[in-house]
């Protein structure tokens, strides 16, 4: 099989959506959405996509890659309208909703219909939506495969397009075997787009299995952060980490802030602590229900809440345009996760700041990240007296947060014993602890003595 061709980059006059070959109904929609000039990945990918080629797109987060695959699919749908025309696989529920919104807004003038098929939502309502044969199905792999197996009359045997977005993340989350099963039940004669922020060996293997003679378009050749992002670090002893975080929240109170933690427990704990101290914070993690997660996101997007405390569920693919500052409460163990986290700010040419909290145990991790991004971070200035004054209030708030979490866990525990949970659909929960490389708790077997 021939290797993917490299797309050449021309230095001609700046491209417009019209010069890329986009049809009038889509140009009108782009104008309404105020998309004026195509991004690099769109310039590279769209002409080849309109020629009907399979595409591997390697582009950093925030580069506009959703429109790079949505526009060619909608253009083809305009030429031959039919139900169940395209299927898009996404690693997280939030990203699936966001892709669907983009398809619907770009395809509004042509009446494009989307169905979002993700875990945590009512399966019967989804089966009814699929029976109406929407043009585009945007799904997480676990729930989609459930419907392919269990929902009478639903199949993807007629689809023309398959898109795998954030492919590296899809495979990191162990969706590989399910994707293999989905590939077996869709037509071989189809157009496939595979988009990924990084080109891992797993992604390369998936590309060989699912694409035929693809063209490769690459916008970022190495892990990198955008030039408009100012990156800082803050050194502190581990036991004073909470006080330093509250000091930052205080000094940056006028900004919209995203705080990233490694575990669900810390995300929940910090959001309660911030609330107790008067900061309008909202948590986002994999143990919230789908409606709670969407509610948290919309509160933050609308500015109703200034602080979002999140696990890596929110680090990829979500376009929240107004994030001024990203704070890494915990340093991610993988450098590429750092890049995706700080990619929430300084998007589409805007400026932004990232501040990483570094304890005595994190020095090696931060040095590794600096090596990967090829930049030295600057030290964020602090006022030792102000932090000392905050300590007592912060410790009290931390005690209250721990007590509230204990109470919540006790009531949840009682509820959980009454419910029967499990099954393949759990994979769509974006279990943060799995992503953070944390060991899963083993179920204890009760034994009689």
Closest CA to 376 of 386, 389, 390, 366: 366
Indicate the helix (H) or strand (E) that contains 136. strand 136-139
Angle (CA) 357-363-367 rounded to 5° is 100
Q: Give residue 419's pLDDT.
A: 47
Q: Give residue 349's pLDDT.
A: 63
CA distance 45 to 389: 54
Beta bridge partners of 218: 58
Residue the block writes with tokens 């602890």: 433
As to burial, measured by CB atoms within 10 angstroms (0-12 exposed, 13-18 middle, 19+ buried), residue 129 is: middle
Residues whose CB is less than 8 angstroms from the CB of residue 201 and which lie 6 or more positions away in sequence, other chains included:
none
- Could you tell me the pTM of the whole model? 0.66
Query: Which tokens in the block code for residue 284?
Result: 């986002």
CA distance 330 to 338: 10
Q: Give residue 313's pLDDT.
A: 73
CA dihedral 26, 30, 31, 32 (to 10 degrees): 100
CA dihedral 228, 16, 198, 179 (to 10 degrees): 140
Q: What is the pLDDT of residues 376-429, one digit of tens each?
A: 999 999 999 999 999 999 999 999 999 998 888 777 665 555 544 444 444 444
Q: Give residue 28's pLDDT.
A: 92
Backbone angles phi, psi at 161, to 5 degrees: -130, 140
Are residues 77 and 102 in contact, defined by beta-carbon separation less than 8 angstroms?
no
Query: Which tokens in the block code for residue 363?
Result: 């020095």
Beta bridge partners of 205: none
Q: What is the pLDDT of residues 316-325, one digit of tens each?
A: 656 666 688 9
What pLDDT tens digit does each residue of the chain (449 aa) get? Answer: 445 444 444 345 678 999 999 999 999 999 998 888 898 889 999 999 999 999 999 876 667 889 999 999 999 999 999 999 999 999 988 889 999 999 999 999 899 999 999 998 999 999 999 999 999 999 999 999 999 999 999 999 999 999 999 888 888 777 889 999 999 999 999 999 999 877 778 888 888 888 888 999 987 645 567 777 899 999 999 999 999 999 999 999 888 999 999 989 999 999 999 999 999 899 988 888 878 888 888 888 888 888 999 988 766 656 666 688 999 999 987 777 888 888 878 766 677 899 999 999 999 889 989 988 888 999 999 999 999 999 999 999 999 999 998 888 777 665 555 544 444 444 444 434 344 444 444 444 444 44
Domains of the chain from N-terminus onward: 5-218 (3.40.50.300), 229-407 (3.40.50.300)
Q: Give residue 316's pLDDT.
A: 64
């Amino acid at each position: 099989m021939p290797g993917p061709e490299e797309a050449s980059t021309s230095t001609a006059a700046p491209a417009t959506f019209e010069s890329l070959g986009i049809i009038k109904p889509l140009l009108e929609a782009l104008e309404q959405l105020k998309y004026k000039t195509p991004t690099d990945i769109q310039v590279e990918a769209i002409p080849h996509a309109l020629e009907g080629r399979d595409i591997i797109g390697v582009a950093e987060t925030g580069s506009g890659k959703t429109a790079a695959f949505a526009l060619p699919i909608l253009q083809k749908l305009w030429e031959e309208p039919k139900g169940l025309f395209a299927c898009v696989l996404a690693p997280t529920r939030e990203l699936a909703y966001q892709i669907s919104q983009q398809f619907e807004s770009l395809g509004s003038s042509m009446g494009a219909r989307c169905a979002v098929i993700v875990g945590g939502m009512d399966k019967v309502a989804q089966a009814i939506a699929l029976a109406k044969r929407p043009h585009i199905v945007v799904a997480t792999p676990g729930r989609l495969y459930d419907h392919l197996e269990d929902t009478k009359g639903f199949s993807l045997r007629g689809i023309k397009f398959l898109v795998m977005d954030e492919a590296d993340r899809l495979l990191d989350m162990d969706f590989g075997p399910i994707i293999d099963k989905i590939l077996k039940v869709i037509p071989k004669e189809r157009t496939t787009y595979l988009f990924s922020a990084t080109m891992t060996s797993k992604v390369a293997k998936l590309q060989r299995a699912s694409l035929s003679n693809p063209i490769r378009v690459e916008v970022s050749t190495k892990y990198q952060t955008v030039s408009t992002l100012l990156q800082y670090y803050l050194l502190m002893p581990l036991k004073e980490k909470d006080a330093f975080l509250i000091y930052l929240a205080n000094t940056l109170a006028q900004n919209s802030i995203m705080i990233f933690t490694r575990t669900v427990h810390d995300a929940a704990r910090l959001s309660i602590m911030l609330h107790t101290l008067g900061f309008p914070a909202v948590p986002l993690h994999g143990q919230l229900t789908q409606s709670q997660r969407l509610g948290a996101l919309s509160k933050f997007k609308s500015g109703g809440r200034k602080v979002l405390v999140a696990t890596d569920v929110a680090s990829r693919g979500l376009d929240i345009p107004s994030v001024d500052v990203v704070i890494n409460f915990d340093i991610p163990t993988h450098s590429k996760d750092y890049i995706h986290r700080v990619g929430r700010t300084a998007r589409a040419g805007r400026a932004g700041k990232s501040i990483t909290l570094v304890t005595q145990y994190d020095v090696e991790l931060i040095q590794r990240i600096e090596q990967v991004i090829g930049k030295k971070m600057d030290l964020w200035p602090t006022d030792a007296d102000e932090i000392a004054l905050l300590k007592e209030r912060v410790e009290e708030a931390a005690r209250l947060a721990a007590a509230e979490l204990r109470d919540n866990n006790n009531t949840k525990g009682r509820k959980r014993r009454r419910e029967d949970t499990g099954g393949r659909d759990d994979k769509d929960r974006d279990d943060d602890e799995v992503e953070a490389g944390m060991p899963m708790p083993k179920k204890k077997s009760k034994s009689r003595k």
